[in-house]
Amino acid sequence: MNKPKVLITRQLLPEALDQVSEFADMEVWPDTYPPSPEELRTLLKDKHGVLTTIMDRIDASAMDSAPNLKVVSQLGVGVDHIDVDEATKRRILVGNTPGVLAKATADIAFALLMSAARRVSEGDHWVHDKQWELAFHPLHWLGVDVHSTTLGIVGLGETGLEMVKRAQGFDMKVIYYSRTRKPDLEAKYSIEFVDFKDLLQTADFVSLHVAYTPETHFLIGEPEFKLMKPTSILVNAARGPVVDPKALYDALNQNIIYAAGLDVTYPEPISPDDPLLDLKNVVITPHMGSSAISTRRNTMYMAVENMAAGLEGRKLVACVNPSLYQDLGI
């Protein structure tokens, strides 16, 4: 019996590819850069499954070229690059990998918070540029405290909750805003639900952990920055377009807020001539929140299992459109 054909849109760890080879004939895109939309459509023509990254747009046009497609497995949590409604109409299961990324993403978000507050990245660059001549001065390298301050979390999903746990180790008060209030977590972790505007006005640190949707596009823009304290710090480890980049630049350049830490930008990758790169009060990392070895390995395993399940008529470990199960008799 012939194995189903699958496309892997980027190189994975060998052990993950070994797993795929057990249930499918795979084609692996060999380049570091993603296939173009035209190349992707050509690659999908005879495929029953595809394992994607956020850089691969799986829209109606891509699905048109793949009449045999049964499952799209995303290597990550966000699926804003996949037209899930269109996939559902075509009875194509869409899987993602929640849970395994939350701790690593919270680690990088808290690292950005610390670096922006205490000027870690700026100080590191200064030393590497061989400018350190004076051992100590009481007025040099002043940042803002992290301990005993207020952290405002926007979006209390898995990653937002991991931020709560990290903040408690620094004796931070945690307030949060989310579409759905979560009284059980409020009681368990001694956190407080507040209105979005109140959070912006109150928090010393505002950390974004929302999914990217039309409703969260430019969730933080000029009006929101004007509500924040001049000593506050914005952290974004969610998606770049949740924050208006021009408004962010103005807020940082005009000292409307103190600093920012970003693991995501808009656009992504950030343009080499983006004015944000000229500012010292912003720390930017290249979307590396889940780039920890064990986390990435477990993410690959979960994405591979989602694809195997979709091809074999089983429930996915994590499915974005589980309403299809009944239609597919799963």
Q: So which residues are the catalytic ones?
A: 239, 268, 287
Phi, psi of 283 (to 5 degrees): -105, 125
CB atoms within 10 A of CB 190: 11
What does the longest C-alpha to C-alpha distance in the chain come to? 74
CB atoms within 10 A of CB 24: 22
**CA-angle at 155, arms to 320 and 170, nearest 5°:** 130
CB atoms within 10 A of CB 85: 10
How far is 34 from 288, CA to CA, in rounded Å?
17
In which element (H, E) is residue 293 found?
A: helix 293-311
Nearest by Cα to 190 from 207, 206, 171: 171
Task: Report the Cα 255 to chain-centroid distance in Å.
Answer: 27
How far is 190 from 209, CA to CA, in rounded Å?
19
Q: In what order do the strands lie in the sheet with 71-74?
A: 25-28, 5-8, 49-52, 71-74, 93-95
Residue by residue, DSSP assigns 143-206 as ----TTSEEEEE--SHHHHHHHHHHHTTT-EEEEE-SS--HHHHHHHT-EE--HHHHHHH-SEE
The amino acid present at 1, given as its one-letter code, is: M
The amino acid present at 276, given as its one-letter code, is: L
